[in-house]
């Protein structure tokens, strides 16, 4: 087996605000499917036989339940909910199950990328890390529950320096966060420019949290536990280490150390590059070919920019709504896969459900309702004369008669009272909206969970 | 030296037609990889280009090797534009400018060079709306000659016919040009009137001019020999440029050197790598010229204007010509029949080191090895120092020192000097601390330089200088922290200068008496030694000033008793 697929679904969704107060991120419904279904589906399509999923202990059972219909063999690992177990720690947890290079996906990626494209980059350049970049989506201007446009905070920009190698793939030269830069200056080393004199700086891309990682990196992180986040610590470290010289003196310095210094010292001395294992065959092949390039003896990070298809990273309320709207669209790649109106729904007479809407299982919709450009979850009850447009309604929501809602996100178990009119609102988990209330751009959530989105 | 097609005017004109004012000029840049031999560390530029419009967003010119280039973030403001940072470009010195450009130079009197203009325009782009575009030439030849190295490279390229149609056999000064030179294999150009002796070899990329006579058994490689030269038997000439009318005696060897018009090299002379023999110099016989020697011949009546215009300013020799006095030729170095002076490298001053850099570069290939790059990458990790800031500081220090030096010579009022220093301070954005330190250091340096021959006179001189500048010092040392800066930089200087160390007590006393330094500051300084690495330990300094401190402390006690 060439690649071991791993899905990181242990995130609590800390950037998603109230959406994830009561639902783990992996189970948030998008187009009436839990988020985790999308990466699993992608792996299935790419022909993977099995997948390891790391998720929160509390969500384990539910994840297992919702993936029971998948053909792929799922191996679940739970991590404690309250602990600070980050992605790298999770990798350490499952290290014994990994025998090959890893394909690491985040549970929040929805894309139609044929995975072999990324694998091609990895194979062709023999790179340490191959990563996927997608064009960033602009933030929605009108977010439910957010009062002023000003509040939609400016996202921290990230500058990705890359250069073309062999005319079509990108080598990642630096990843810099705007916040880490002093004085509004972007420093670029002259020595780097000497090797790669043409560097494109992109700030219009985001990392789609899809990586292919060499197996030896696992050996490294097993020993060096200082970096706990893959995305924000390990990856920038690897990118930076690409151009530093392997320290060959490590072996010598270890032997010089007195024995009593113990193992800890040895780990400290070992450089990241010393973990790289060299394939003798590969070196020999390289020597035999006419290839002028020296055999890859250093860390290298390559990227693939996927801009011709769909790629969502569900990491904010804005992208969550975008993804839901996309699922409803007739040109969606999942149009045939996801049911529009489930067969088990009970639709009364004179109900209009647009072709651009979805209705989940066992939902009852009463007379004279109109539903446009919306996703309605499972087991909902919708009264008579209800108008819903541009909304995301999750499971088990009760909407009473004569309600008019536009552009809202309504979380699981909420109850909307009669004749209410809601516009651009965010209704939290199990909240109750009083009858005949008129709300605009309000956010109804637990007071303790008042967080900025 | 260029054979570019001048079609680049068209895109410029199109841009001008679309928008009357914004596109100010178009720079013509030639792409050449960083390891290209025509590049020298003197002329490296890093440019940020907008890929769609070819607009120049940032233009950084390296004046020396620095580890990092800082690109301002505002060039990346627009997420839609694709920005590319390019280091594989060289400035061809060809610029298509709009009529506003001369106007801009008039309006902004601080624009000294075209690079100031580019910098200024790019910084003020938002306010003034002027834009600079780039035209990247990917084919054909274009290169500038601005130092010995590039002279060598361009000349070699001409001989290798990269610059076609500008090749040696096409000469304008001779009527029937095509017939005069015979072009042989391996880029050899021999003029029909030149004569070659028996067993003489001319190899690889060489040119021999009109009427030049070459003796027997000579070997000439990679060299250009001008018109009317005479080269006697058994000479070896490699990688050199010999101008017109040069006479070279037998058994001489000339390696990678530069020999101007009418020079006479007697027999048995060895001219090593990187020598420059200026007009009409005589060298030899039987002498070795050290690598990098510059020999010139200029009478005292010749000043800047006469002499050798080709060599003077272009090759950084100009400023040194006026130093010459009537003196006997340097026969010891140039041989018994030598005529000329060896130009002494003045390592102390700024331009001197520049010139020596140029000379070092002459004939040396720049090697770009992956080894050195990666190691420099590593070291850059730790290198937190900002090279640009550093540069500013040194220029500032130099300017302050020059001002102070001139102030003593011309007896300028301290007030005016304060104004001058303050303007420098703002120009280089220096802090008050920097100013105080620089002023103190400069004064001490001036005194040291004045009494370089006679250290015993050091304090007398220093005292004279300090007396002259008491009002200036008072102006800068108004508060305690400035005074502390002053005294610490005084200490720092003394740590490296014995003369200053010996009279440190006197200096402190002088400054104390003139109220430049207060009692508290001196006592505070004495009790808080700062770790300065120098030839003397800080403790040593305290020892030197012990008596003075004791005296001060006593005086203070007396003061308090009186109270």
Task: Categorize the per-residue pLDDT at B249 as very low, low, confident or very high, splitting at 50, 70 and 90.
Answer: very high
**B367 within domain boundaries:** no
Both A38 and A175 in one domain: the answer is: yes
Contacts of B35 in chain A (CB under 8 A): 194
Number of Cα atoms under 13 Å in the Cβ half of residue A209: 23
Both B323 and B230 in one domain: the answer is: yes
Best mutation target, A190, A200, A237, A298, to test chain B (most B CBs within 10 A): A190
Pairing of strands B230-231, B213-214: parallel
**A411 within domain boundaries:** yes
For position A216, what pLDDT does the model report? 86
Among the ranges given (A375-384, B242-251, B514-523), the one the predictor scored with the smallest mean pLDDT? B514-523
Separation CA B419–CA B433 (nearest Å): 17
pTM value is: 0.67
Q: Are B157 and B3 in contact (CB under 8 A)?
A: no
Task: Give the domain-ending residue among A317, A350, A381.
Answer: A317
Both A303 and A420 in one domain: the answer is: no
The SS3 of residue B120 is helix
Q: Are B187 and B205 in contact (CB under 8 A)?
A: yes
pLDDT of A108 above 70: yes
**A261 within domain boundaries:** no
Contacts of A159 in chain B (CB under 8 A): 76
B85–A188 CB contact, under 8 Å: yes
Can you give the residue range of the structural domain that contains B418?
Answer: 380-562
Number of Cα atoms under 13 Å in the Cβ half of residue B336: 4
Task: Categorize the per-residue pLDDT at B248 as very low, low, confident or very high, splitting at 50, 70 and 90.
Answer: very high
Separation CA A318–CA A360 (nearest Å): 22
Both B510 and B402 in one domain: the answer is: yes
Task: Give the domain-ending residue among B333, B362, B391.
Answer: B362
**A304 within domain boundaries:** yes
Best mutation target, A192, A194, A246, A271, to test chain B (most B CBs within 10 A): A194
**A435 within domain boundaries:** yes
Both A42 and A138 in one domain: the answer is: yes
Q: Which of residues 118-177 of A touch B (CB under 8 A)?
A: 136, 157, 159, 161
**A209 within domain boundaries:** yes
B84–A189 CB contact, under 8 Å: no
Q: Please, what is the Cα angle at B514 between B510 and B520, to 5 degrees?
A: 85
From the list B275, B404, B285, the residue with the least C-alpha distance to B339 is B285
Alpha carbon separation from A203 to A82, A133, A381, B197 (Å, rounded): 34, 11, 44, 68
For position B363, what pLDDT does the model report? 41
From the list B213, B256, B437, the residue with the least C-alpha distance to B360 is B256
Both B357 and B411 in one domain: the answer is: no
A198–B381 CB contact, under 8 Å: no
Alpha carbon separation from B297 to B223, B268, B271, B326 (Å, rounded): 24, 21, 17, 11
| Structure tokens that stand for B438 in this block | 């620089």
Minimum-distance CB partner of A245 among B69, B70, B378: B378
Alpha carbon of B89: minimum distance to chain A alpha carbons (Å): 9
Both B126 and B192 in one domain: the answer is: no
For position B65, what pLDDT does the model report? 59
Task: Categorize the per-residue pLDDT at A147 as very low, low, confident or very high, splitting at 50, 70 and 90.
Answer: low
Separation CA B491–CA B497 (nearest Å): 10
pLDDT of B541 above 50: yes
- Taking only the tens place, the pLDDT of each residue in B111-126 is 888 888 888 888 887 7
Minimum-distance CB partner of B374 among A183, A184, A243: A243
**Is A189 part of the contact surface with chain B (CB cutoff 8 Å)?**
yes
B380–A161 CB contact, under 8 Å: no
For A139, which DSSP code?
P
From the list B201, B214, B223, B294, the residue with the least C-alpha distance to B248 is B214
Length of chain B: 563
Alpha carbon of B77: minimum distance to chain A alpha carbons (Å): 9
The SS3 of residue B351 is helix
**B412 within domain boundaries:** yes
Contacts of A155 in chain B (CB under 8 A): none
Separation CA B103–CA B24 (nearest Å): 11
Q: Which CATH number do you get for residue B159? A: 2.160.10
**Is A179 part of the contact surface with chain B (CB cutoff 8 Å)?**
no
Minimum-distance CB partner of B73 among A161, A181, A193: A181
Both A312 and A393 in one domain: the answer is: no
Both A49 and A157 in one domain: the answer is: yes
Mean pLDDT of A6-33: 82
Both B7 and B26 in one domain: the answer is: yes
**A363 within domain boundaries:** yes
Both A359 and A307 in one domain: the answer is: no
Best mutation target, A189, A305, A307, to test chain B (most B CBs within 10 A): A189
Mean pLDDT of B70-78: 79
The distance of Cα B430 from the centroid of its chain, to the nearest Å, equals 23
- Taking only the tens place, the pLDDT of each residue in A441-452 is 888 876 544 444
Greater pLDDT, A177 or A303: A303
For position B254, what pLDDT does the model report? 92
Q: Which CATH number do you get for residue A189? A: 3.90.550.10
For position A293, what pLDDT does the model report? 54
For A152, which DSSP code?
S
Greater pLDDT, B187 or A453: B187
Greater pLDDT, B448 or B375: B448
**DSSP per-residue codes, B237-261:** EES-EE-TT-EE-TT-EEES-EE-T
Both B344 and B388 in one domain: the answer is: no
Both A308 and A388 in one domain: the answer is: no
Q: Please, what is the Cα angle at B351 between B345 and B352, to 5 degrees?
A: 10
Q: Are A21 and A14 in contact (CB under 8 A)?
A: no
- Phi-psi domain of A209 (left: phi exceeds 0; alpha: psi -120 through 50; beta: other): left
pLDDT of B366 above 60: no
**Is A180 part of the contact surface with chain B (CB cutoff 8 Å)?**
no
Both B155 and B131 in one domain: the answer is: no
Q: Which CATH number do you get for residue A408? A: 2.160.10.10
Both B204 and B242 in one domain: the answer is: yes
Both B100 and B164 in one domain: the answer is: no
Among the ranges given (A120-124, A242-246, B19-23, B536-540), the one the predictor scored with the smallest mean pLDDT? B536-540
Task: Categorize the per-residue pLDDT at A132 as very low, low, confident or very high, splitting at 50, 70 and 90.
Answer: very high
Alpha carbon of A430: minimum distance to chain B alpha carbons (Å): 40
Both B255 and B351 in one domain: the answer is: yes
The residues, any chain, with a CB within 8 Å of residue B431's CB and separated by 6 or more, are none
Task: Give the domain-ending residue among B104, B137, B170.
Answer: B137
Best mutation target, B71, B126, B368, to test chain A (most A CBs within 10 A): B71
A190–B381 CB contact, under 8 Å: no
Both A227 and A139 in one domain: the answer is: yes
Both A225 and A372 in one domain: the answer is: no
Mean pLDDT of chain B: 76
For position B381, what pLDDT does the model report? 38
- Taking only the tens place, the pLDDT of each residue in B191-224 is 888 999 999 999 888 999 888 999 999 999 999 9
Q: Are B463 and B440 in contact (CB under 8 A)?
A: no
Both B161 and B53 in one domain: the answer is: no
Greater pLDDT, B19 or B276: B276
Minimum-distance CB partner of B71 among A186, A190, A245: A186
Contacts of A184 in chain B (CB under 8 A): 72-74
A186–B73 CB contact, under 8 Å: yes
pLDDT of A47 above 50: yes
Q: Please, what is the Cα angle at A339 between A337 and A343, to 5 degrees?
A: 140
Q: Which of residues 238-297 of A touch B (CB under 8 A)?
A: 243-245
Among the ranges given (A33-42, A187-196, A260-269, A290-299), the one the predictor scored with the smallest mean pLDDT? A260-269
**B374 within domain boundaries:** no
**A269 within domain boundaries:** no
Mean pLDDT of B241-254: 92
Alpha carbon of B479: minimum distance to chain A alpha carbons (Å): 30
Contacts of B381 in chain A (CB under 8 A): 244
pLDDT of B156 above 80: yes
For position B175, what pLDDT does the model report? 61
Minimum-distance CB partner of B70 among A186, A192, A202: A186
Cβ contacts from A onto B, under 8 A: 103
**B314 within domain boundaries:** yes
**A220 within domain boundaries:** yes
The SS3 of residue A206 is strand
Task: Categorize the per-residue pLDDT at A234 as very low, low, confident or very high, splitting at 50, 70 and 90.
Answer: confident
Q: Which CATH number do you get for residue B477? A: 1.25.40.180
A189–B377 CB contact, under 8 Å: yes
B378–A186 CB contact, under 8 Å: no
- By percentage, how much of chain B surpasses pLDDT 70? 79
A197–B51 CB contact, under 8 Å: no
Both A59 and A180 in one domain: the answer is: yes
**B547 within domain boundaries:** yes
Among the ranges given (A137-141, A173-177, B357-361, B383-387), the one the predictor scored with the smallest mean pLDDT? B383-387
Q: How many domains does chain B have?
A: 3
Mean pLDDT of A178-198: 82
Write out the residues of chain B at the interface with chain A, using a CB-CB cutoff of 8 A. 33-35, 46, 48, 51, 62, 65-74, 76, 79-80, 82-88, 368, 370, 373-378, 380-381
B84–A197 CB contact, under 8 Å: no
Alpha carbon of A187: minimum distance to chain B alpha carbons (Å): 4
- Taking only the tens place, the pLDDT of each residue in A331-374 is 888 877 777 888 888 888 888 888 888 888 889 888 888 998 89
Minimum-distance CB partner of A187 among B70, B374, B376: B70
**B371 within domain boundaries:** no
A198–B84 CB contact, under 8 Å: yes
**Nearest chain B residue (CA) to A194:** B34
Backbone angles phi, psi at B61, to 5 degrees: -110, 125
pLDDT of A264 above 50: no
Can you give the residue range of the structural domain that contains A361?
Answer: 340-444
Contacts of B368 in chain A (CB under 8 A): 194
Both A305 and A360 in one domain: the answer is: no
Separation CA B219–CA B235 (nearest Å): 6
Both B221 and B297 in one domain: the answer is: yes
pLDDT of A280 above 70: no
- By percentage, how much of chain A surpasses pLDDT 90? 9
| Structure tokens that stand for A411 in this block | 């979380």
DSSP E strands: which ranges in A138-295? 158-165, 169-177, 185-189, 198-202, 205-213
Q: How many domains does chain A have?
A: 2
Separation CA A330–CA A356 (nearest Å): 7
Both A140 and A93 in one domain: the answer is: yes
């Amino acid at each position: 087996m060439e690649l071991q697929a791993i899905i990181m679904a242990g995130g609590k969704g800390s950037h998603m605000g109230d959406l994830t107060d009561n639902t783990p991120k992996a189970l948030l419904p998008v187009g009436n499917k839990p988020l985790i279904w999308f990466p699993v589906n992608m792996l299935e399509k790419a022909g993977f036989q099995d997948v390891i999923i790391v998720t929160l202990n509390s969500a384990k059972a539910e994840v297992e339940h919702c993936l029971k219909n998948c053909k792929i063999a799922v191996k679940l690992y739970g991590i404690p909910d309250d602990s600070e177990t980050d992605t790298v720690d999770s990798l350490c947890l499952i290290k014994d199950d990994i025998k090959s290079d890893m394909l690491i996906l985040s549970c929040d990626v929805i894309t139609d990328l044929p995975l072999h494209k990324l694998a091609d980059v990895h194979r062709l350049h023999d790179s340490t890390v191959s990563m996927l970049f997608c064009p960033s989506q602009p933030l929605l201007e009108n977010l439910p529950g957010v009062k002023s446009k000003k509040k939609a905070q400016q996202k921290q920009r990230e500058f990705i320096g890359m250069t073309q190698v062999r005319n079509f793939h990108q080598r990642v030269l630096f990843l810099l966060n705007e916040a880490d830069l002093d004085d509004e200056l972007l420093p670029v080393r002259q020595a780097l420019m000497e090797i790669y004199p043409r560097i494109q700086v992109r700030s219009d891309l985001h990392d789609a949290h899809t990586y292919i990682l060499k197996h030896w990196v696992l050996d490294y992180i097993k020993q060096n536990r200082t970096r706990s986040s893959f995305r924000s610590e390990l990856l920038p470290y690897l990118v930076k280490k690409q151009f530093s010289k392997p320290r060959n003196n490590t072996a010598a310095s270890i032997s010089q150390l007195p024995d009593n210094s113990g193992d800890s010292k040895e780990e400290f001395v070992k450089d990241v590059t010393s973990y790289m294992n060299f394939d003798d065959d590969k070196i020999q092949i390289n020597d035999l070919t006419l290839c002028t390039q020296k055999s890859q003896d250093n860390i290298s990070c390559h990227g693939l920019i996927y801009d011709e298809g769909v790629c969502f990273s569900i990491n904010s309320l804005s992208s969550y709504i975008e993804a839901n709207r996309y699922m409803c669209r007739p040109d969606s790649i999942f149009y045939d896969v996801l049911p529009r109106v489930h067969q088990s729904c009970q639709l009364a007479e004179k109900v209009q459900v647009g072709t651009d809407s979805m209705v989940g299982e066992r939902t009852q919709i009463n007379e004279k309702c109109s539903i446009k450009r919306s996703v309605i979850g499972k087991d909902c009850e919708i009264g008579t004369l209800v108008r819903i447009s541009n909304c995301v309604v999750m499971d088990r929501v009760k909407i009473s008669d004569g309600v008019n809602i536009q552009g809202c996100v309504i979380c699981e178990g909420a109850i909307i009272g009669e004749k209410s009119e809601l516009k651009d609102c965010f209704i939290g988990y199990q909240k109750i909206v009083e009858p005949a209330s008129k709300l605009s751009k309000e956010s109804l959530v637990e007071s303790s969970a008042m967080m900025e989105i | 030296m260029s054979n570019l097609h001048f079609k680049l005017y068209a895109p410029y004109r199109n841009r001008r037609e679309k928008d009357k004012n914004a596109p100010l000029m178009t720079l013509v840049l030639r792409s050449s990889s960083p390891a290209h031999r025509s590049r020298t560390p003197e002329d490296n530029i890093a440019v940020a280009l907008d890929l769609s419009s070819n607009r120049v967003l940032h233009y950084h010119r390296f004046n020396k090797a620095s580890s990092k280039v800082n690109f301002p973030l505002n060039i990346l403001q627009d997420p839609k534009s694709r920005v590319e940072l390019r280091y594989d470009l060289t400035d061809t010195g060809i610029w298509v400018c709009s009529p506003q450009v001369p106007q801009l130079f008039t309006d902004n009197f601080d624009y000294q060079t075209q690079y100031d203009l580019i910098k200024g325009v790019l910084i003020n782009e938002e306010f003034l709306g002027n834009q600079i575009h780039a035209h990247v030439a990917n084919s054909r030849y274009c290169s500038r000659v601005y130092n010995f190295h590039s002279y060598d490279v361009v000349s070699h390229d001409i001989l290798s016919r990269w610059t076609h149609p500008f090749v040696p056999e096409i000469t304008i000064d001779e009527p029937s040009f095509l017939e005069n030179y015979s072009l042989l294999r391996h880029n050899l150009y021999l003029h029909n009137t030149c004569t070659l002796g028996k067993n003489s070899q001319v190899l690889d990329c060489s040119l021999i001019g009109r009427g030049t006579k070459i003796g027997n058994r000579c070997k000439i490689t990679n060299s250009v020999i001008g018109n009317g030269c005479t080269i006697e038997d058994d000479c070896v000439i490699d990688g050199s440029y010999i101008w017109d009318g040069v006479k070279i005696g037998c058994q001489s060897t000339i390696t990678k050197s530069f020999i101007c018009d009418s020079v006479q090299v007697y027999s048995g002379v060895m001219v090593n790598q990187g020598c420059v023999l200026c007009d009409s110099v005589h060298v030899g016989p039987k002498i070795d010229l050290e690598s990098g020697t510059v020999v010139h011949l200029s009478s005292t009546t010749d000043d800047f204007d006469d002499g050798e215009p080709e060599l003077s300013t272009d090759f950084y020799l100009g400023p040194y010509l006026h130093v010459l006095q009537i003196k006997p030729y340097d026969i010891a170095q140039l041989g018994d029949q030598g005529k000329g002076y060896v130009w002494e490298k003045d390592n102390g001053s700024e331009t001197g080191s520049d010139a020596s850099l140029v000379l070092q570069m002459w004939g040396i290939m720049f090697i770009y090895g992956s080894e050195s790059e990666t190691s420099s990458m590593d070291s850059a990790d730790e290198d937190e120092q900002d090279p640009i800031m550093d540069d500013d500081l040194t220029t500032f220090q130099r300017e302050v020192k020059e001002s102070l030096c001139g102030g003593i010579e011309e007896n300028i009022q301290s007030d005016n000097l304060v104004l001058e220093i303050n303007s420098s301070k703002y120009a280089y954005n220096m802090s008050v601390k920097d100013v105080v330190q620089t002023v103190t250091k400069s004064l001490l340096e001036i005194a040291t330089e004045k009494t370089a021959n006679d250290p015993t006179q050091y304090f007398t001189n220093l005292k004279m200088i300090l007396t002259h500048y008491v009002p200036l010092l008072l102006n800068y040392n108004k508060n305690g922290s400035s005074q502390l800066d002053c005294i610490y930089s005084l200490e720092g200087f003394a740590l490296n200068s014995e003369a200053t160390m010996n009279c440190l007590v006197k200096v402190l006393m002088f400054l104390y008496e003139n109220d430049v330094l207060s009692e508290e500051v001196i006592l505070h300084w004495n009790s808080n030694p700062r770790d300065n690495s120098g030839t003397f330990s800080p403790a040593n300094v305290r020892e030197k000033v012990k008596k003075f401190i004791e005296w001060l402390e006593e005086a203070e006690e007396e003061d308090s008793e009186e109270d």
